[in-house]
Structure 1
């Protein structure tokens, strides 16, 4: 059945609101600018959406001033696309230019801040990276001796954790596509099918259901279970008694779903059925705990309390879910160390996992949005008993 897709892109008001929220926080923290360099952060404030980020050759920069619209400092190859966004001040250079890849333009933009000893926010924290040559960064900093570089990781990640209604609509759409794709798996695979063909069939179906791409698809299959959750597929054919897991990150208009499903081939042993049952109930506990005001630590402990019925600790993957949006994984983490408070509008994964048997693990994952009265599923809930194909 064909689903009505949301509109692609966003209205200009969306980017204005994001920028104004950032600028209000900047004022509170005494920042006169933010310098952003990575694809999701640049896209979040500009709407600049392209797969050209796959190339590591060129750096890209977006400057958020204390007031007014952002300023793009980008390679000339991206100028035409950037002009289709709400950004008006676009400063470009012919790139690649290893001797001066935008550094002179950045210096010109930031020099007034440096002269008055202003504070510039950059991202230094967990899940951030410097997407430019380290040597170029060091050269830029040396040329701006008065500039005070301040960590703005919390500011940016805090904004991006809470999704707008328009973002949630896109996330709900790709989760619906992902759910419909998983619904077709029992009709498309069977005993004897090589695992790599299972992966290809899933990707084809995701595109047929309306996904733009499936950049992330991992999983595993083996007798009674699987031993890891990040493997590329092999040529090994599916066999009776295998447990198959597929974990997908499909995209639509630049937003991800991220969830998995488990299937038994022909038959399932008691250990696998028991592991599945524990994880399904752990997810139920997570759904009940996903209330505004509770913490990610609370979510973790609610799920871990059920997992403890069975877990032998061999399946410890460090956290039991995370944020979701323009990236497959975003802040926060459902872990014992993360005290982030849940807020209405957060989109999250619930991803309990456990170890059982002889080195086997099992993972279960759903995608949710936090509403005023608790969790709303964006994915179609997995069945309470392990499906058998």
Structure 2
């Protein structure tokens, strides 16, 4: 796998995203999109920078309803933007707390051809602003005849549908993680601590070509972990444990997100039963995830299989989500989500079962929706748990 040759996109990839955005702007009655978050700026111009870890200097990209996008960025970022496909760059000397690009943003929005008097911004569903709310209020207050409205629906309409080039990057992230998952029974042994296992796993991801590893979870307990969100402990894994490892590893900005479970020594009959029940429900979910059905339909099929018709179908909250430049993206695979699945959507299918109080079995695979059967991007986990001795 030639990872170095796989970084970046051709300019036509970004040009196509702008064209699609502009078609949607007409439907949403917008004169432009104002983007401030790392993910959305990267989506439209391709820049990769760790400088966003600093909150001192905001960055902006304005995508007009017609014409080319422009970048409004602190002077320190000009050189990197000049290497992208963006031609128009406006910058200011920063830090400048009295005006961190506010006047430049107001001027650029004011100069847009005005048809609807509305510009979309990252105000809503699963989005985050890359500037202080007080700065947004200042921009809104200085604009005359232009309303800043929520652009989340439009942004997710774009980003939920991945291009083949985006899917390729997700597949590379999946492959990097998958290679390490396969090695776990060879380098993990009874008595190793969660912290030690995680450290070794992270090192192997890095050696395999991971761009970044924002999420890596390692949890264990007798019969199954009691929770799957906390950090690693110094607890040694022991006979009878279920070891759970989950990673959101990235390649060139795009995430994988899936887990694997390992039987440590002997398993109880209850754990074997729960493993089989979740695996079977997972198979139903993978088969159900086809173009034209809703995300809620996929949830319902798995929930019925897990509950055998007797339990609350929505007790799990959700059993999966979209994937891309974020670890979790819309849609949510939950009963009430009526998003219709379309070719190009990448989904993590994620059934879970608390089979005894405080004992969880959770499986996760990743698929891309096609015109036919969903295509697995991960290598399907075996029905029988891999064993650590």
Band of TM-score, shorter chain: over 0.9
2:209 corresponds to:
210
Aligned 1:74-153 pairs, distance under 5 A: 74-113=73-112, 118-153=117-152
Distance in 1 between the 2:253 and 2:185 partners? Answer: 28
CA RMSD of aligned residues (A): 1.9
Partner of 1:120, secondary structure, is strand
Q: Is the 8 A contact 2:30 2:116 kept in 1?
A: no
> Following the alignment from structure 1 to structure 2, what is the Cα–Cα distance between the partners of residues 89 and 311?
60
Q: What do residues 99-137 of structure 1 show as CA deviations (whole Å, max 9, x unaligned)?
A: 111111112112235988711112222101222111111
Name whichever of 276-285 and 129-138 sits farther off: 129-138
Partner SS for 2:125: coil
Is 1:196–1:233's contact at 8 Å kept on the other side of the alignment?
yes
Cα deviation for residue 314 of structure 1 reads: 12
1:328, 1:143 → 2: CA distance?
35
Is 1:155–2:148 an aligned residue pair? no
Cα distance 1:279–1:60, how it changes in 2: closer, same or farther (>3 A)? same
Relative to structure 1, the CA distance from residue 255 to residue 186 in structure 2 (aligned partners, 3 Å threshold; closer, same or farther) is same
CA distance in 2, matches of 1:198, 1:119: 51
Pair 1:361 & 2:343 matched: no
Residues 61 and 72, structure 2, Cα contact 8 Å, conserved in 1: yes
User: What is the alpha-carbon distance in structure 1 between the residues aligned to residue 314 and residue 264 of structure 2?
Assistant: 22
Query: How far does residue 60 in structure 1 lie from its aligned partner after superposition?
Result: 1.1
Q: Give CA deviations for 1:266-293 in whole Å, capped at 9, x if unaligned.
A: 1111121111111111110011111110
1:273 corresponds to which residue?
Answer: 272
Q: Output the CA distance in 2 between the equivalents of 1:29 and 1:257.
A: 31
**CA contact 1:286–1:299 (8 Å) conserved in 2:** yes
Which stretches in structure 1 are left out of the alignment for 5+ residues? none
Change in 2 beyond 3 A, CA 1:117/1:32:
closer
TM superposition shift of 1:216: 0.5
1:225 aligns with 2:238: no
Alpha carbons of structure 1 residues 314 and 192: separation in structure 2 relative to 1, 3 Å? farther
Q: Partners in 2 of 1:117 and 1:266 — Cα distance?
A: 65
How much has 1:257 moved relative to structure 2?
0.3
CA distance in structure 2 between the aligned counterparts of 1:311 and 1:199, rounded to whole angstroms? 38
Q: What does residue range 1-389 of structure 1 map to in structure 2 within 5 Å?
A: 3-5=1-3, 7-113=6-112, 118-309=117-308, 316-389=315-388
2:297 is paired with a residue of what secondary structure?
Answer: helix
User: Could you tell me whether the CA contact under 8 Å between 1:32 and 1:118 is conserved in 2?
Assistant: yes
SS at match of 2:386: coil
In structure 1, how many angstroms separate the alpha carbons of the residues matched to 2:258 and 2:61? Answer: 32
* CA contact 2:125–2:153 (8 Å) conserved in 1: no
Q: C-alpha displacement at 1:310, in angstroms?
A: 10
Large movers: runs of 4+ above 6 Å: 114-117, 310-315
Distance of 1:347 and 1:71 partners within structure 2: 29
Contact 1:278–1:310 (Cα < 8 Å) also in 2: no
Unaligned runs of 5+ in 2: none
1:82 match: secondary structure = helix
CA contact (8 A) 2:140 2:147 kept: no
Q: Which string of whole-angstrom CA distances, capped at 9 and with x for unpartnered residues, describes residues 27-46 of structure 1?
A: 22221111011111111111
* 1:27-85, Cα deviation, whole Å (9 max, x unpaired): 22221111011111111111111122122222111100121211111111211111111
CA distance in 2, matches of 1:20, 1:226: 47
